[in-house]
Structure 1
Amino acid sequence: MQCRLGCGACCIAPSISSPIPGMPDGKPAGVRCVQLDDENLCRLFGQSSRPAVCSGFKAEATICGETDQQAMATLIELENLTV
């Protein structure tokens, strides 16, 4: 499965504990990553400064569902289960 361009759910819903350029302490769950542009595309995609956790995320139908809203809901649920 390929990521849906402009979804951004994986860059908003989960917490990220590793530093992100512009967010040295990572980001809390539900907070938009500062590296998302106005079209929900990652400014760090393909760059070495992109956190490993972000580079390691792979789109999967069970996580991303069929819509951006389904992806957000699933990732929020998974985040809540891990706190």
Structure 2
Amino acid sequence: MPQGKPAGVRCIQLDPANLCRIFGSPERPAVCASLQPAADMCGSSREHAMHYLSTLEQLTAG
């Protein structure tokens, strides 16, 4: 997404299984490459992780 990804908008690089199509590619944004999963971020479910990421987007929108 040339101008960045707005909060709440699905990344255009995610495939139907929510895997990054450009993982490991030089075109992958630095912010994505620097995001390191951690237990508090991932939790024990997809729902927890998505809530965490949504909250992070809201806090950094802007």
Calculate the TM-score normalised by the size of structure 2.
0.85
Poorly superposed stretches of 4+, deviation over 4 Å:
none
For residues 28 and 63 of structure 1, the distance between their equivalents in structure 2, rounded to whole angstroms, comes to 20
For residues 4 and 59 of structure 2, the distance between their equivalents in structure 1, rounded to whole angstroms, comes to 19
1:75 is paired with a residue of what secondary structure? helix
For residues 31 and 82 of structure 1, the distance between their equivalents in structure 2, rounded to whole angstroms, comes to 14
Q: Which residue of 1 aligns with 2:38?
A: 60
Percentage of matched positions with identical amino acids: 56
Count of matched residue pairs: 61
1:33 is paired with a residue of what secondary structure? coil
Gaps in structure 1 of 5+ consecutive residues = 1-22
Match of 2:17 among 23, 39, 58: 39
- The equivalences for 1:1-83 within 5 A come to 23-83=1-61
**By percentage of residues, which structure has more helix?**
2
RMSD value over aligned CA atoms?
1.2
Q: 1:27 offset after TM fit, Å?
A: 0.9
Q: 1:38 offset after TM fit, Å?
A: 1.2
Gaps in structure 2 of 5+ consecutive residues = none
